[in-house]
Structure 1
Amino acid sequence: MTPTRTRPRAPWAAGFCVGMATLLGCAAPDTAESPVTQQDSAASVSAGPRSLGPDAFATAISDPDRFIINVHIPYEGEIADTDLQLPYNEIGQLSGLLPADRSTPLAVYCRSGPMSQTAMDTLSGLGYTDIVELDGGMRAWTASGRDLKHR
């Protein structure tokens, strides 16, 4: 036998339930009962395009799934393990060289920053959702004590 409602719900009951659910859902969590680690917190945040300093960029590109692109023209060196040399101003025309999966994590850099900023904007416009850019470019990279490769 299926349970049935024998009397109608009071008109205010639905509003009360929605209001309480909203209030309880928006309340600050009791951190003693549900600790959130920095790593958990970072994983729950949308990736999106962002600029990173050399240390954070080095961490980001250590992920073997991240596709690394040097967008500087003319060629002036590259960070080790760079996957592609692609002029920042030709990304739209050469987008077939990029990963087809728009959720592929990307990393872009140039010599000093402006070209990779433009590249990041272009890639975001193409639908890529996880893009990091080296703030200060290869100059910041080498100033932090890291090396560049030359062909």
Structure 2
Amino acid sequence: MRIAGMVLAAGIMIFISACTPTNNESTPTASPDTEPGTETTATYHTMSIDELANIVSDDDQAYTIVNVHIPYQGEIEGTDANIAFNDIEALTEALPDKNAPIVLYCSSGNMSEQAAQDLVKLGYTQVYDVPGGMYAWQSSGRSLVNSQ
């Protein structure tokens, strides 16, 4: 019985760690546009909740803010679009040029991290992921809105 409990606890820890986003300041992702032998590394960056709150409160039009969480569970006020993290075609169609600053978030950070990696692979240069996403937003005392 004791061994079964330890196995269960280990399984839960592995599951939680697999669903938890990394908190890297930037994560390198290989760029597909390089010639063999001249590889460069493109990166996406992380953005804190406070940095995102400043962008939202300043109504900074320079940033495109996208909620990539599915299914829809609300959003941060000031969000420009709600597009599923795994619908890269719809995401790229909704985004400005590849050099424009883009902020991605989801509920916890996992889906936005995946979408950020995909965009960097496609050549986007200013991609920001918000680790902790809507959970961290709410934990900071801020609220979500429901636009649907």
Shorter-chain TM band: 0.5 to 0.7
Instruction: Tell me how far apart the structure 2 counterparts of residues 123 and 50 of structure 1 sit (CA, whole Å).
Output: 12
Report deviation, 1:60: 4.1
Report deviation, 1:96: 1.8
Q: What root-mean-square deviation, in Å, do the aligned CA atoms of Structure 1 and Structure 2 show?
A: 1.8
- 1:34-53 aligned at under 5 Å gives the runs 48-53=43-48
Report deviation, 1:145: 0.9
Percent of pairs with identical residues: 42
Matching residue of 1:76:
73
Deviations 1:90-109 (A, max 9, x none): 1135522221x111110000
**Gaps spanning 5+ residues in structure 2: where?**
1-42
Q: Is it true that 1:134 corresponds to 2:130 in the alignment? A: yes
Q: Is it true that 1:120 corresponds to 2:110 in the alignment? A: no
Instruction: Tell me how far apart the structure 1 counterparts of residues 55 and 123 of structure 2 sit (CA, whole Å).
Output: 20
- 1:14-53 aligned at under 5 Å gives the runs 48-53=43-48
* Alignment-mate amino acid for residue 83 of structure 1: D
Instruction: Tell me how far apart the structure 1 counterparts of residues 93 and 134 of structure 2 sit (CA, whole Å).
Output: 25
Instruction: Tell me how far apart the structure 2 counterparts of residues 93 and 148 of structure 1 sit (CA, whole Å).
Output: 23
Q: What TM-score does the superposition give when structure 2 sets the normalisation length?
A: 0.64
User: Is the CA contact (8 Å cut-off) linking 1:57 and 1:132 kept in structure 2?
Assistant: no
Q: Is it true that 1:59 corresponds to 2:54 in the alignment? A: yes
Instruction: Tell me how far apart the structure 2 counterparts of residues 143 and 68 of structure 1 sit (CA, whole Å).
Output: 20
Matching residue of 2:89:
92
Runs of 4+ aligned structure 1 residues displaced above 3 Å come to none
Between Structure 1 and Structure 2, which shows a larger proportion of strand residues? 2
**Gaps spanning 5+ residues in structure 1: where?**
1-47
Q: What TM-score does the superposition give when structure 1 sets the normalisation length?
A: 0.63
Structure number with bigger Rg: 1
Matching residue of 2:20:
none
Change (3 A) 1:94 1:59: closer
